[in-house]
Amino acid sequence: MRVRLEKLRKRLAEYQVDVMLVSKPENIRYLSGFTGSSGVLIVGPRETFLLTDFCYAEQARGEAPQCNICVKRNSDSDEFIAVLRDIGSRTVGFESHFVTVKDHDELAKKISGITLKPLAQVVERLRAVKEEEEVACITKAARLGDAAFSHILPFIKPGVTEKELALELEFFMIKNGAEKVGFDIIVAFGARSSMPHARTSDEKLYPGEFIKMDFGAVYKGYHADMTRTVILGRTTKRQREIYRLVCEAQELALSKISAGQVGKEADEIARFCIRKAGYDENFGHNLGHGLGLEIHEIPVLGPRSEDLLEAGMTFTVEPGIYIPGFGGVRVEDSVVLKKDGVKVLTGSTKELLEL
């Protein structure tokens, strides 16, 4: 934690900021270790203060021993001001992408002689390049996803519902060590699989249909994400062609993505493959997104992304083709970027399974 805080302090000096208010829970956890839902971190030039309420005071002392713990007695802004004045703050940075206009305005009214400076995604950019321990947690989360995929296959039978499969996936991952699932699990059958983020329903499964499953475990706060698409019964020629094309696009991207590219360059590797086959209009989302304490982080691998890809970043690679009335295929892996290319953390087969 101390190394992370020192990196942040160096960034703050570049922005000519004395102190930073950190309000976003994932950023508080990253910088202090505190996992409670009520807290604000004040990062000063030499000391760090964690403001929380009585319900989390004991937890904060245990999880964030390097912080000065302040238990709130009055409003948040009153506590902010007392600490800020004690440490002689003049320019205070705040997370402008997270703090509401209302909270900003209320704090600004009570401050005299202190300037509030908006800083967007400063901590998130520190979080983008992962430490070895963070990659280990994401790897463990990916393995839980792999185990869940193997577990769910025998449950895929005629008449099962999307919700039943989603619940079984969730139960299995939590029972086997996941802190929780990373997002609402997506299970979509048949023509409904053409919706990239279909809402899981009571729809029943029939032979010949695609089964698209997008799910992920959280381990010690860190997310993994995977999608696999399988078939109940025998595949048709068109189903096999679409599936093959998605896999080819993904494999090409996995082999060509490298440190030093920007997000749009990585995205174009897979998108060119799909465009060349005539399905450009059927691949309407980004190729991937960062993974970590949040399910969507920096970097973005998309057509407009200028995010620089660096060794140590973790993200998804997930091309897809979605055809209304026919169905959709997505194949998604969690990966970590190394100096010599991509290392895939998801281990589940990408063979088109006929169940």
Contact partners, residue 64, CB within 8 Å, separation at least 6: 1, 32, 33, 34, 50
* CATH level 3 topology of 2-127: Creatine Amidinohydrolase; Chain A, domain 1 (3.40.350)
* Alpha helix segments (H runs only) across 188-313: 237-256, 263-276
What's the pLDDT at 108?
A: 86
The domains of the chain are located at 2-127, 132-344
Q: Is the pLDDT reported for residue 36 higher than 80?
A: yes
pTM to 2 decimal places = 0.95
Mean pLDDT of the chain: 96
The one-letter amino acid at 354: E
The pLDDT score that the predictor gives to residue 112 is: 79
Per this entry, what is the length of the chain? 355
Fold of 132-344: Creatine Amidinohydrolase (3.90.230)
- Using the Cα atoms of residue 17, residue 23, residue 28 and residue 32 in order, give the sign of their dihedral: positive
pLDDT classification of 77: cutoffs 50, 70, 90:
low
Q: pLDDT band for position 111 (50/70/90)?
A: confident
Average pLDDT over residues 23-33: 98
Measuring CA to CA, how many Å separate 159 from each of 152, 169, 195? 15, 17, 21
| Confidence tier at 184 by pLDDT (50, 70, 90) | very high
In the chain, pLDDT over 70 holds for what percent of residues?
Answer: 99
Q: Which helix (H) or strand (E) holds 9?
A: helix 2-14
